[in-house]
Amino acid sequence: MDGFVKLVRELLCTSGLETAQIFTEGRLELPGWYRPEKQWDLLIVLDGCFVAAMEFKSQAGSFGNNFNNRTEEALGSAVDLWAAYREGAFRPLARPWLGYLMLLEEAPASLKIVGNREPHFPVFPEFHKASYCKRYEILLTKLVRERLYDSACLLLSNASQGPQGRYREPVAELTFRNFAASLLGRLNAEGALRRD
C-alpha cells in the first residue's frame, strides 16, 4: 500500500501542504482511549493541531479470515480515536478528518456469494447473497454513514493488472475521487480558517 500512501501525499503537497505537515514514515502515533497509542498510515498535523488520519489496507486471498479481522480493526481504530477525541486528547482541535482506503484483490473467491452461519438469529438482509467484495462495500458504506470515518474508498485490482496500475471502483460512493475530494475539502476549510 506504500504506492497509495505516496500518491495521497503527492496530492496533498500539490494542494499546498508542506511535506513537514504530512507524516507517512515515523511519528505516526496518536493517543487512544482504550490503548495508549495507535499508529496510522498517514497523518496530517498543522501547527500542532491534528487535522487528518488515514488507514490504507489491502487484502489478497484468505478472504474469510481477513474480512473479519479488517472489520474489527476498522471499527476498533475509529472508536478508539473518537473516544480519545471526546476526552480531549488532541486539544486544541476542531473535529479531525478520518479516512479508510481498501484495496481488495479481484478474484473469483472475492466475487462469489458467501454463505452465512445463522444458528440462532438471522443476519441482516444486506448480507444475504453477498460476496466478500459486497461485504466490504457494506462495511465501508456503514462506517461513513455512521460517521466513524469521514470518507472511505474501495478499489479492486487483480494480480495480473494491479502491478500496471489498473483497478476498478465497484461503488460510486466509495471512489478515490470522492475520497480525495472529501479530504481536500477538509484541508481547504482548515486553510481558510487559519488565514482569517
| pLDDT tens digits, one per residue of 116-158 | 999 999 999 999 999 999 999 999 999 999 999 999 999 999 8
Q: Which own/partner pairs from 182-185 qualify as long-range (CB within 8 Å, at least 24 positions apart)? A: 182/97, 182/99, 182/150, 182/151, 183/8, 183/12, 183/52, 183/54, 183/97, 183/99, 183/150, 183/151, 184/11, 184/15
How confident is the model over 149-175, as a mean pLDDT? 89
pLDDT class for 1, splitting at 50, 70, 90?
low
Residue 196 pLDDT: 46
Mean pLDDT calculated for residue range 98-111: 94
Task: With a cut of 60, say whether residue 51 has pLDDT above it.
Answer: yes
Sole residue written with cell 458504506: 141
Average pLDDT, the chain: 90
Q: How far apart are CA 184 and CA 132, in angstroms?
A: 30
Arithmetic mean of pLDDT, 160-187: 89
